[in-house]
């Protein structure tokens, strides 16, 4: 890789919503490297689990990634696309929605605990065993994200705004707690969230 190519990996979100999204839209090959950039962007510690789930369907990881992407492309509508990842590929809702958000940013947004904090009522959505119920609930979640941020911002920017609002509110609470003699430990809510470990979700 060249130095310029190395630099694209530093700003992973820009790479995903620029290069990888363009590849998908233009029917170019989204590589295994590209796919796992999405996975790592969402949750670095989940990458081995995701690889294992893909290889449960096809022992050739490259072929499995292409099969998954083909299944998404072939799904009839947005709900079917989500069902493919949840039901056929056994991915969890946060990861499934991260993948679909990169490919279809106008239709999907990431199911994230910070955004749930801001819109309410959706904290247990990823725990449903019934996939149809999950998909219906997710559609309501997307509508709630749209409603929570007024104006003409894109769905992607509305997600960023809600994430940033949650981040700011929590940091202010932590600072107040520390100043009042708290124990200095991070909030357990964040410490145990899989989605909180990836630095690339921090707002730039």
pLDDT tens digits, the chain, 204 residues: what are they? 788 878 888 999 999 999 999 999 999 999 999 999 999 999 999 999 999 999 999 999 999 999 999 999 999 999 999 999 999 999 999 999 999 999 999 999 999 999 999 999 899 999 999 999 999 999 999 999 999 999 999 999 999 999 999 999 999 999 999 999 876 565 544 433 344 333 334 333
Domain that holds residue 166: 3-201
pTM given for the model: 0.88
101 contacts 118 by C-beta, under 8 angstroms: no
Q: 195: buried, middle or exposed (CB in 10 Å: 19+, 13-18, 0-12)? A: buried
Q: 8: buried, middle or exposed (CB in 10 Å: 19+, 13-18, 0-12)? A: middle
Q: How many CB atoms lie within 10 A of CB 66?
A: 17
What phi and psi, each to the nearest 5 degrees, are found at residue 91? -90, 150
Domain count, the chain: 1
């Amino acid at each position: 890789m060249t130095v310029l190519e190395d630099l694209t990996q530093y700003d992973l979100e820009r790479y995903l919503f620029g290069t990888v999204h363009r590849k998908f839209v233009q029917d170019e090959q989204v590589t295994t490297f590209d796919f796992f950039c999405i996975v790592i962007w969402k949750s670095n510690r989940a990458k081995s689990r995701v690889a294992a789930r893909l290889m449960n369907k096809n022992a050739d990881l490259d072929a499995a990634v292409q099969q998954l992407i083909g299944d998404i492309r072939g799904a009839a509508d947005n709900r079917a696309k989500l069902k493919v990842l949840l039901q056929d590929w056994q991915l969890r809702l946060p990861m499934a929605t991260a993948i679909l958000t990169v490919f279809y940013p106008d239709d999907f947004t990431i199911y994230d605990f910070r955004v749930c904090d801001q819109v309410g009522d959706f904290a247990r959505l990823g725990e449903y065993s019934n996939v149809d119920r999950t998909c219906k609930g997710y559609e309501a979640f997307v509508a709630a994200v749209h409603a929570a941020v007024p104006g003409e911002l894109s769905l992607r920017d509305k997600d960023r705004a809600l994430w940033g609002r949650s981040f700011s509110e929590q940091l202010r609470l932590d600072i107040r707690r520390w100043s009042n003699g708290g124990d200095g430990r991070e909030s357990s809510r964040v410490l145990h969230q899989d989605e909180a470990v990836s630095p690339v979700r921090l707002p730039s």
